[in-house]
Amino acid sequence: MPGGIGVCGPAAVKARAGSFRWVWVLSDRAQSPPAAEQGFVLIEVLVSAVILALVAAGVLTLLSATTRSAASERVHSQAYGVAQEDQARMRSMRISSLNRLEEANEVTLDGSKFTVESTGVFVDNATGDESCTEGSSPADYVRITSTVRSAQMVNPVVVQSAVAPSTGSLDPSHGTLSFSATNAAGDPLSGVSISGTGVAGFNGQTDSTGCANFADLPAGNYTMTTSAGGMVNMLGETSTSKPIGVSAAGTQTVGLRYDVPGNIEPRFQYRVGSTPTMLPATADSILVYNAEMGTLGRAYWTAGHTRQATVPATGLFPFIHADTVYAGACEKNNPVPAEGAPARASVLVTPNGTATPLITLPALNLTVKRNSSVVSGATVKITDEECKEPNGSLVKRIYTTEAGGHLTEPGMPWGIYSVCASGTFKEGSNNVTRYASKTKVSVKNLTSGTPLELELSSTSSC
């Protein structure tokens, strides 16, 4: 067709001089797909973009994981090599140097930093571990352990091997000290520090099984010192020092017990005569006893031995069975179970806890007189005939009588006492002191107290 062939939209045709031609006239609006089709195209583009991003992220993650895995394998391989070198180093050391060996060193290899922990311990061939129980077999070989750590590794590399002492490498004149540490419940206690001085020196800590063996020690006498980081032993001590002996070709087993301490702060009361009335009392000492202590107990005093509302007993070992607590400072102040149950308490001490039992004291119902009249302000010295202070002297307590001629506070520890009362009086133009005394006074009655009357008449001091 003249003028060309095309497909037209809206157009106008013009005819001139008997001829005609197609004239293309484009609309001022471009042709576009329907609106619905435009939305589908946009969604397809977005979905394609998301899929592409997910695929790219997966590929990048895979590449990153592969790179990290390769790096981790490289670091682990280096760590294993470092551990093997440390094992070779320890195998070249003397047997005596490997016993209780604990070292830590820093190693840098190809830019990677490692911490190398080297340990050596004598172990029992029968159990394959360190043995510290009484009657256990002697150590047969040394187990050496190399532990290599790095910030680039999640888990450390651990390599162990055994070094058997060659014949004659251990002196037959030497022996072994074996320590076993437990807490109050009898569970193994790690981290207990042990050191010793004497013929030779030794130093170390109990392991996770509560054991610490010191082999190849020269026979002789030593002084051992133990502690457990703020814990106390059965006597309430944070540190213990005592002599110990090492026998040739023998093993001396030592048991240690440490735990977190607790406290006891008792309160006191006494009965007024034979009435049901109870009043607060004071005391200057208490004794705490437990059958597992292995002693008759431990006395606790107030500062200056002054009578106070409570006598704190701090730093007590938390035995699994209750402690017995009573006022006084020795076994003779221990109330007879059938008669004096209220005068003592059964207390379970817990770690970091404080028990506050109430203890009833028997009363000395003393009346001081002069010419049959009650004397106030008289001085009364009461001596415990069976109990001594830490310096070895008998326990003495001083009281003053009040307006009724009685003790200001009659509650006392269960015991046998000597009582001496004195007062100064005006006789003519002179001041004279008169005395009265009584020995073997039993103060043990919890229902009505112990009555005692003293007449100040003697000129002889007591």
Candidates 121, 113, 193, 124; CA nearest to 150 is 113
Pick from 112-121, 165-174, 186-195: least confident: 165-174
Q: What does the pLDDT read at residue 71? A: 65
pLDDT in tens, 122-148: 775 554 455 575 554 455 578 889 999
Is 63's pLDDT higher than 80? no
- Spacing of C-alpha 385 from chain mean position: 40
The residue type of 392 is G
Distance between CA atoms of residues 83 and 27, nearest Å: 84
**Does residue 99 or residue 248 have the better pLDDT?**
248
pLDDT in tens, 200-214: 999 999 988 898 888
User: To which residue do tokens 């070992």 refer?
Assistant: 317
How far is the CA of 211 from the CAs of 121, 134, 197, 216, in angstroms? 11, 12, 20, 16
Q: Which residues, 6+ apart, have CB-to-CB distance to 173 below 8 Å?
A: 218, 219, 248, 249
Question: What number does CATH give the domain 364-455?
Answer: 2.60.40
**Token digits for 450?**
């112990």
Using DSSP's 3-state secondary structure scheme, residue 194 falls into: strand
| Interior/surface letters 30-45, b for 16+ CB within 10 angstroms, e for the rest | eeeeeeeeeeeeeeee
Give the mean model confidence (pLDDT) for residues 267-274: 96
Q: What does the pLDDT read at residue 38? A: 60
Give the mean model confidence (pLDDT) for residues 262-275: 97
Candidates 321, 298, 93; CA nearest to 186 is 321
pLDDT band at 15 (very low <50, low <70, confident <90, very high): very low
Is 35's pLDDT higher than 70? no
Q: What does the pLDDT read at residue 270? A: 97
Pick from 51-55, 107-111, 235-239: least confident: 51-55
Number of residues that make up the chain: 462
Q: What does the pLDDT read at residue 1? A: 41
Candidates 222, 226, 224, 245; CA nearest to 234 is 226
pTM of the model: 0.69
The residue type of 259 is D
Distance between CA atoms of residues 265 and 355, nearest Å: 6
Distance between CA atoms of residues 38 and 48, nearest Å: 16
Q: What is the mean pLDDT of the chain?
A: 85
- The pair phi, psi for residue 209, each rounded to 5°, is -95, 0
Give the mean model confidence (pLDDT) for residues 162-188: 81
Using DSSP's 3-state secondary structure scheme, residue 85 falls into: helix
Distance between CA atoms of residues 2 and 431, nearest Å: 163
**Does residue 72 or residue 427 have the better pLDDT?**
427
| Interior/surface letters 182-209, b for 16+ CB within 10 angstroms, e for the rest | bbbeeeebeebbbbbebeeebebbbbee
Distance between CA atoms of residues 222 and 204, nearest Å: 15
Q: How many CA atoms lie within 13 A of 73 on its CB side?
A: 6
Is 86's pLDDT higher than 50? yes
**Token digits for 200?**
């030779």
Pick from 52-66, 70-84, 407-421, 424-438: least confident: 52-66
- DSSP assignment string, 282-308: -BSEEEEE-GGGSSS-EEEE-GGG--B
Using DSSP's 3-state secondary structure scheme, residue 44 falls into: helix
Question: What number does CATH give the domain 176-258?
Answer: 2.60.40.1120
Give the mean model confidence (pLDDT) for residues 371-398: 95
pLDDT band at 160 (very low <50, low <70, confident <90, very high): confident
Please state, as a whole number, how many other Cβ atoms lie within 10 Å of the Cβ of residue 94: 9
Candidates 425, 419, 426, 423; CA nearest to 442 is 419
Is 31's pLDDT higher than 50? yes
Q: What does the pLDDT read at residue 294? A: 81
Q: Do residues 258 and 183 lie in contact, with contact meaning Cβ atoms separated by under 8 Å? A: yes
- Spacing of C-alpha 19 from chain mean position: 117
Distance between CA atoms of residues 400 and 382, nearest Å: 11
Same CATH topology for 176-258 and 364-455: the answer is yes
Q: What does the pLDDT read at residue 348? A: 97
Residue 262, classified by CB atoms within 10 Å of its CB into exposed (0-12), middle (13-18) or buried (19+), is buried
pLDDT in tens, 392-441: 999 999 999 999 999 999 999 999 999 999 999 998 889 999 999 999 99
Candidates 99, 176, 179, 180; CA nearest to 138 is 176
Is 12's pLDDT higher than 60? no
Q: What does the pLDDT read at residue 30? A: 47
Candidates 153, 165, 157, 166; CA nearest to 87 is 157
Q: What does the pLDDT read at residue 91? A: 85
Pick from 162-166, 210-214, 337-341: least confident: 162-166
- Spacing of C-alpha 243 from chain mean position: 26
**Token digits for 449?**
């107290």
Please state, as a whole number, how many other Cβ atoms lie within 10 Å of the Cβ of residue 335: 24
Candidates 450, 452, 453; CA nearest to 271 is 450
Q: What does the pLDDT read at residue 225? A: 98
Indicate the pairing of strand 354-355 with strand 358-361: unpaired
In the chain, domain spans: 35-167, 176-258, 262-355, 364-455
Q: What does the pLDDT read at residue 231? A: 98
Is 119's pLDDT higher than 90? no
Q: What does the pLDDT read at residue 371? A: 94
Q: What does the pLDDT read at residue 219? A: 94
